[in-house]
């Protein structure tokens, strides 16, 4: 590469990412961020940070089809968004044949809950939160019984998906969704870190190293299953990795 091109790339990286040379990703794990608001059929204002579902769906298809991608890591920091767009993303993540792990970082609120539980295994950090509340409608609302029936059916779709893909019972999830007195001017519940694990929504409290280590473990298990089911030759070798460090603060008295 010519020196001029290198200088231009460094300047562009500095403007966009704050560093001259961002680290190159050489991995068989594909990282999919779900950030801001999940945008559906209506385009949101330009000042909103959004994840467009028409961008995410083709990426998930590519993950399934690409032989160089062995697993999917979903990073969640979302306030929720369009219900049908969120469910579409969740259904595709659930139906992937490759190992999937989700990691809730800042928040996995509203329709972000089905996306988080759609992965085979889920993590949440200590400080991350998940808000569970009833379905809402925006725009023109007709004051007829059919509107209430439509809302109830949509809500049932979300509840059934979450219950089917987590350890949370329907009774518990409905109680969290319709609880009063916790959210200002609304019904619902905010779960912080370990509370989401205790409720059965998330599998484990952990961070990035735990999520990647779990994916490596799942990749190895899938490779061994394929080999034992009749594949010829030795199972594919996987790169050696260091075990993940314990999540959370170090115990007192250690250096």
Other C-beta atoms closer than 10 Å to the C-beta of 141 total 10
20-36 as b/e, with b when 16 or more CB fall inside 10 Å?
eeeeeeeebbbebebeb
Looking at per-residue pLDDT, the higher value among 48 and 126 belongs to: 126
pLDDT tens figures, 39-51: 888 888 888 888 9
**With bands split at pLDDT 50, 70 and 90, how would you rate the model's confidence at 166?**
very high
Specify the fold of 28-221. 2-enoyl-CoA Hydratase; Chain A, domain 1 (3.90.226)
Collapse the DSSP code of 40 into the 3-class scheme (helix H, G, I; strand E, B; otherwise coil) and give the result. Answer: coil
pLDDT at residue 106 is higher than 70: yes
Residue 201 gets the label, from left (phi > 0), alpha (psi -120 to 50) or beta, of: alpha
Query: Mapping DSSP to helix (H, G, I), strand (E, B) and coil, where does residue 155 land?
Result: helix
pLDDT classification of 205: cutoffs 50, 70, 90: very high
Per the annotation, the verdict on 227 as an active-site residue is no
Residue 48 is predicted with a pLDDT of: 85
Terminal-residue alpha carbon distance, the chain? 45
pLDDT higher than 60, residue 82: yes
Active-site choice (102, 110, 122, 166): 110
Cα–Cα distances in Å, from 165 out to 70, 91, 211? 22, 10, 18
pLDDT of residue 252: 64
Give the range with max mean pLDDT: 13-27, 91-105, 174-188. 91-105
Averaged pLDDT for residues 164-175: 93
Catalytic residue among 102, 122, 133, 166: 133
Whole-number Å distance between alpha carbons of 41 and 45: 13
The residue ranking higher by pLDDT, 128 or 40, is: 128
219 Cα distance to chain centroid: 18
Contact 32, 75 (CB under 8 A): yes
- Mean confidence (pLDDT) of the chain: 85
């Amino acid at each position: 590469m010519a020196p001029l091109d290198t200088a231009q790339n460094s300047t562009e990286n500095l403007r966009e990412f704050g560093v001259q040379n961002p680290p190159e990703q050489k991995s068989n794990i594909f990282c999919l961020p779900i950030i801001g608001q999940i945008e559906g059929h209506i385009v949101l204002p330009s000042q909103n940070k959004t994840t467009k579902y028409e961008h995410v769906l083709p990426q998930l298809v590519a993950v399934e089809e690409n032989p160089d991608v062995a697993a999917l890591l979903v990073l969640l920091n979302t306030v929720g968004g369009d219900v049908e767009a969120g469910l579409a993303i969740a259904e595709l993540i659930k139906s992937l044949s490759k190992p999937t792990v989700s990691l809730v970082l800042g928040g996995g609120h509203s329709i972000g809950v089905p996306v988080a539980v759609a992965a085979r295994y889920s993590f949440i950090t200590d400080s991350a939160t998940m808000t569970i509340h009833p379905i809402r409608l925006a725009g023109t609302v007709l004051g007829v019984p059919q509107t209430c029936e439509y809302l109830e059916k949509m809500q049932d779709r979300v509840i059934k998906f979450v219950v089917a893909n987590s350890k949370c019972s329907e009774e518990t999830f409905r109680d969290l969704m319709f609880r009063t007195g916790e959210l200002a001017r609304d019904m619902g519940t905010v779960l912080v870190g370990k509370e989401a694990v205790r409720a059965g929504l998330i599998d484990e409290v952990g961070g990035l190293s735990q999520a990647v280590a779990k994916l490596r473990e799942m990749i190895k298990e899938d490779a061994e299953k394929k080999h034992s089911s009749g594949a010829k030759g030795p199972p594919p070798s996987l790169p050696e990795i260091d075990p993940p460090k314990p999540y959370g603060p170090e115990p007192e008295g250690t250096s």
